[in-house]
Amino acid sequence: MSDQSPDTLVVQGVSKRFGSTLAVNDASFTVRRGELIGIAGHNGAGKSTILKVVNGTIAGDSGTVTVNGIARSADTTVAHPEKLGVRTVYQELSLCASLRVDETAAIFDHSARGLSWRSTAWHNLRTVLDEMFPGHGIRKDAKISELSIARRQMIECASTMIDSTVRPALVILDEPTSSLDAASTASFYAYLKKRAAEGVSVIITTHRLHEMIDNLSRIYVMRDGQVLSEQRAEGATKESIVTAMGLAAHESSRVAPIADSSTVTTTDARPTTASEVIVRLEQPGDDGASEVFEIRKGEIIGFAGLEGHGQLLALEAVYRASARRSGAVRAPRRTAHHAVSVTGDSAYVSGDRGVRGIFPLWDVATNISFSSLGKLTAGGLVKPKAEAALVHEWYSRLGIKGQSTDPITSLSGGTQQKALMARAMAVGSDLLLLEDPTRGVDQATKSEVYELLRGQAAEGQTIVWYSTENEELRNCDRVFVFRVGKIVATITGADATEDAVIALSFGGQDVAPIDLEGAVR
């Protein structure tokens, strides 16, 4: 079936209009057999839309899509793209929380039939998983609802590569690595390259531009629905892509000196201010004595390390240890590795906005003001004017476009995330806890978020920030690097380069990831 054409996918002149906005404007591109290509562009550039037209989920208005030499008009939808060998991982995950891992595998794997359908499907999935994510630690009888986002993402990615009744020919991955740590990401791309050599073509969108440059062969840049330019990955730089995306000079204003791992000056960075201690983490040291890590008022602290090494657990412990009122103290909270005590109250922002963040049925205004309603009431009733003022203030501070009465789901993913940040910040708590807040958010929005966080810190809010993107840790004052549940190093934000953080998280002998977060949700 795969010999007749050197191109797996040819997209010609596809346009798609949603109401008054032209989401995709006369887009054309080609993916050759066995090629890994990327589509770059900020949120709302039309990446997801064009990919949905390609796999036939939504109908375009004009143009043609040719898959494996079979052309179809773009204004038709395809009920079963998997029968054409087209597989897709969407940005919002699509696993069934109530099923076991092997049952999930079987739902994707139409070749798993008969009495042993579960073991067949698990065998097929596991073959891919073991190679794509060595040491993934996923058991076949675990329920999806018990797995971390990263593990669910691994299952979705792996399920696109199984040889079902129809072998994969074109695999579309929309932000596949957004929750994966650096090591998993590397093995993931190594696997993709291997499969590409066997003739599988892959389209990837990601906001991690360096991943595209390092691993793909070509990158198409989209802006305002148009495919603007095509760059060969060898010659491309982050700057060249960002420029093409039309986001010039949106980069972080705080340029850290480029350091490689050998130039980390100290792995025991002291607090940057002498202000009061807000968070105190205590862990047993190697020599039996306890080590104490203090986070002071107005600091931005990053929690880094490989996925699943205790950062999230520590962040949740900080949240649970924090008091209800500003300035108050509660009894310390113990985890398997730390004793955590916190002075003051806290607010928590999760990167998993669909599940843990937004109220999808409400408008933007209520989503923002919800956490602050307590201080906006008189006699138990909400004061509409005060609420409107609060919403207005955060609208302008965050630069959210549109009406505050729009439903929150009408906003793009990145903007929803900004609204969530606004909700947490509007409370004015002593401590702001962020769980990978920029997951799947474009570069421009990220820069705005960093700016905002620095502003909050300057006003005296303490920020603890868990991130899977080592690059953004440079915006922190200090970074705590976790390994096997414990803090193994504290470095300054300026030292926190990708290489330095990876070197520290891999340091020592023990590189086996342990399942700390996997069970939490």
Partner 1 sequence: MTTTQPVTEPPRSLGQAARERLGTAFGPWFLPTLAAVIIFGLMVALRPLVASPTGLNLVLAPLIPLIFAVLAQMFIIAAGDIDLGIGSFIGLANVVIAVIIPDSPVAGILFLIGMVVAYAAMGVLIAVRGLPSIVVTLGMSFVWLGVAILILPTPGGVVPEGIVSFVRFNPQVVPGVIIVLTVVTVAVALFLSRSKYGAVLRGSGSNAEGVRRAGWSVIRAKVSLYVLAAVFGLLSGLYLSGQTGGGDPYIAQSYVLLSIAGVIVGGGSFKGGEVSAVGAVAGALVVGLLGSLLQFIGVQSSFQAAAQGLVLVLVLVLRALVNWIQKVRRTL
Q: Which residue in 1, 70, 71, 96 binds partner 1 (CB under 8 A)? A: 96
Q: Which residue in 23, 50, 95, 433 binds partner 1 (CB under 8 A)? A: 95
Q: Are 156 and 179 in contact (CB under 8 A)?
A: no
Taking the C-alpha atoms of residue 352 and residue 520, their distance in angstroms, rounded to an integer, is: 14
Q: Identity (one letter) of the amino acid at 449? A: V
**Within 13 Å, how many C-alpha atoms sit on residue 344's CB side?**
24
198-257 binders of partner 1 (CB under 8 A): 210, 214
CB of 126 to partner 1, least distance (A): 12
- Contacts made by residues 125-131, CB under 8 angstroms, sequence distance 24+: 125/101, 125/155, 125/158, 125/159, 125/162, 127/162, 128/158, 128/159, 128/161, 128/162, 128/191, 129/154, 129/155, 129/158, 131/191, 131/194
CB of 213 to partner 1, least distance (A): 10
Q: Are 411 and 353 in contact (CB under 8 A)?
A: no
Query: By C-beta, is 4 or 509 nearer to partner 1?
Result: 509
Query: Which span sits near partner 1 by CB under 8 A: 366-374, 386-394, 414-422, 508-516?
Result: 508-516
Q: Which residue in 21, 71, 76, 134 binds partner 1 (CB under 8 A)? A: 134
Q: Which residue in 34, 137, 246, 332 binds partner 1 (CB under 8 A)? A: 137
Q: Applying CB under 8 A, does 515 fall inside the site for partner 1?
A: yes
Q: Are 244 and 265 in contact (CB under 8 A)?
A: no
Q: Applying CB under 8 A, does 514 fall inside the site for partner 1?
A: yes
Taking the C-alpha atoms of residue 186 and residue 513, their distance in angstroms, rounded to an integer, is: 15
Taking the C-alpha atoms of residue 409 and residue 359, their distance in angstroms, rounded to an integer, is: 9
Taking the C-alpha atoms of residue 208 and residue 189, their distance in angstroms, rounded to an integer, is: 13
Q: Applying CB under 8 A, does 65 fall inside the site for partner 1?
A: no
Q: Applying CB under 8 A, does 499 fall inside the site for partner 1?
A: yes
Antiparallel, parallel or unpaired: β 486-492 and 478-483: antiparallel
Q: Applying CB under 8 A, does 113 fall inside the site for partner 1?
A: yes
Q: Which residue in 8, 49, 88, 124 binds partner 1 (CB under 8 A)? A: 88
CB of 94 to partner 1, least distance (A): 3
List of E strands, 182-322: 201-205, 218-223, 226-232, 277-284, 290-296, 300-305
Taking the C-alpha atoms of residue 199 and residue 187, their distance in angstroms, rounded to an integer, is: 19
Q: Which residue in 1, 21, 70, 83 binds partner 1 (CB under 8 A)? A: 83
Q: Are 379 and 365 in contact (CB under 8 A)?
A: no
Query: Would you state the structure tokens that stand for residue 473, as one six-digit string?
Result: 């840790």
Q: Applying CB under 8 A, does 275 fall inside the site for partner 1?
A: no
Query: Which span sits near partner 1 by CB under 8 A: 27-35, 78-86, 372-380, 387-395?
Result: 78-86
Q: Applying CB under 8 A, does 104 fall inside the site for partner 1?
A: yes
Q: Applying CB under 8 A, does 266 fall inside the site for partner 1?
A: no
CB of 363 to partner 1, least distance (A): 20
x/- mask, partner 1, residues 325-364, rule CB under 8 A, reads -----------x----------------------------
- Helix, strand, coil percent content, the chain, rounded in steps of 5: 35, 25, 40
Antiparallel, parallel or unpaired: β 462-466 and 300-305: parallel
Q: Which residue in 22, 59, 186, 373 binds partner 1 (CB under 8 A)? A: 186
Q: Applying CB under 8 A, does 175 fall inside the site for partner 1?
A: no
Q: Applying CB under 8 A, does 97 fall inside the site for partner 1?
A: yes
CB of 369 to partner 1, least distance (A): 28
Q: Applying CB under 8 A, does 502 fall inside the site for partner 1?
A: yes
Q: Are 318 and 301 in contact (CB under 8 A)?
A: no
CB of 451 to partner 1, least distance (A): 26
Give CA separation, 65 vs 2, 77, 78, 410, in Å.
Answer: 17, 11, 11, 28
Q: Applying CB under 8 A, does 107 fall inside the site for partner 1?
A: yes
Name the site residues for partner 1 (rule: CB under 8 A). 80, 82-83, 88, 90, 93-99, 103-104, 106-108, 110, 112-113, 117, 134-135, 137, 139, 141, 146, 182-183, 185-187, 190, 210, 214, 313, 336, 498-499, 502, 506, 511-516, 519-520
